[in-house]
Amino acid sequence: MQKKVVVVGHGMVGHRFVEALRARDDRGEWAVTVLCEEKEAAYDRVALSSYVNTWDPKELALAGNDYPDDVNVDVRLSATGVKIDRTARTVTTSTGETLSYDKLVLATGSYAFVPPVPGKDSRNCFVYRTLDDLDKIKAAAETAAAGNGVGVVVGGGLLGLEAANALKLLGLTPHVVELAPRLMPLQVDEGGGALLKNLVTDLGLTIHTGVSTAAINEKEDGSLTVELSNGETIDAALLVFSAGVRPRDELARTAGLDVGERGGVITGLECQTSDPDVYAIGEVAAIEGRCYGLVGPGYASAEVVADRLLGGEAEFPGADLSTKLKLLGVDVASFGDAFAQTPGALEVVFSNPAAGTYAKIVVSDDAKTLLGGILVGDASSYATLRPMVGRELPGDPAAMIAPAGGSVEIGAGALPDDAQICSCNAVTKGDICGAIADGACDIAAVKGCTNAGTSCGGCLPLVKKLLADSGVELSKALCECFAHSRAELFQIVQSTGIRTFSKLIDKHGDGSRGCDICKPTVASILASTSSDHILEGEQASLQDTNDHFLANLQKNGTYSVVPRMPGGEVTADQLIVIGQVAKEFDLYVKVTGGQRIDMFGARVEQLPAIWKRLVEAGMESGHAYGKSLRTVKSCVGSSWCRYGQQDSVKMAVDLEKRYRGLRSPHKLKLAVSGCARECAEARGKDVGVIATEKGWNLYVGGNGGQTPRHAELLAGDLDDATLVRYIDRYLMFYIRTADRLQRTAPWQESLEGGLDYLKKVICEDSLGIADELEAAMERHVAGYKDEWAGVLEDPQKLSRFVSFVNAPAEPDPLVQFAESDGRKIPVTLGMPAMPETATTGVK
Size (the chain), residues: 843
- Residue 841, Cβ density class (10 Å: 0-12 exposed, 13-18 middle, ≥19 buried): exposed
Which residues are CB-neighbours of 523 under 8 A, at least 6 positions away? 501, 534, 539, 542, 543, 547
Q: Round to whole Å and give the CA distance between 535 and 53.
A: 17
Asked if 524 and 739 touch (Cβ cutoff 8 Å), the reply is no
Per-residue CA distances from 198 to 176, 205, 300, 376 (Å): 13, 10, 36, 11
Phi/psi at 319 (nearest 5 deg)?
A: -125, 130
Of 274, 225, 272, nearest to 253 (Cα)?
274
715: phi > 0 → left, psi -120 to 50 → alpha, else beta; which? beta
Strand 245-247 vs strand 265-267: parallel, antiparallel, or unpaired? Answer: unpaired
Q: Is 515 one of the annotated binding-site residues?
A: no
Strand 224-228 vs strand 233-236: parallel, antiparallel, or unpaired? Answer: antiparallel
**DSSP assignments along 745-756, one per residue:** HHHHHHSTTHHH
Of 449, 532, 453, 462, nearest to 498 (Cα)?
532
Q: Is 125 one of the annotated binding-site residues?
A: no
Of 828, 824, 801, 829, nearest to 587 (Cα)?
824
Q: Round to whole Å and give the CA distance between 521 and 154.
A: 35
Contacts 24+ apart (CB under 8 A), 234-237: 234/150, 234/152, 234/175, 235/148, 235/150, 236/148, 236/150, 236/151, 236/152, 236/175, 237/124, 237/140, 237/141, 237/144, 237/145, 237/148, 237/149, 237/150, 237/151, 237/172, 237/806
Of 679, 688, 694, 696, nearest to 643 (Cα)?
679
Asked if 105 and 8 touch (Cβ cutoff 8 Å), the reply is yes
Cα pseudo-dihedral 490, 749, 781, 705, rounded to 10: 110
Q: Round to whole Å and give the CA distance between 97 and 75.
A: 14
Q: 10 Å Cβ neighbour count for 357?
A: 21
Secondary structure letter of residue 598 according to DSSP: E
Torsion sign over Cα 294, 297, 301, 302: positive
Q: Round to whole Å and give the CA distance between 152 and 164.
A: 8
Bridge partners, 241 (sequence order): 127, 154
Of 258, 263, 8, 229, nearest to 118 (Cα)?
229
Strand 285-287 vs strand 290-291: parallel, antiparallel, or unpaired? Answer: antiparallel
Q: Round to whole Å and give the CA distance between 376 and 20.
A: 35
Phi/psi at 5 (nearest 5 deg)?
A: -125, 130
E strands along 512-635, which residues? 552-553, 559-561, 588-591, 597-602, 629-634
Asked if 791 and 610 touch (Cβ cutoff 8 Å), the reply is no
Q: Is 679 one of the annotated binding-site residues?
A: yes
Q: Round to whole Å and give the CA distance between 684 and 699.
A: 9
Q: Is 675 one of the annotated binding-site residues?
A: yes
Which residues are CB-neighbours of 184 under 8 A, at least 6 positions away? 156, 157, 158, 161, 193, 196, 332
Binding residues for [4Fe-4S] cluster: 635, 641, 675, 679
Q: Which residues are annotated as a binding site for siroheme?
A: 679
Annotated binding residues: 635, 641, 675, 679
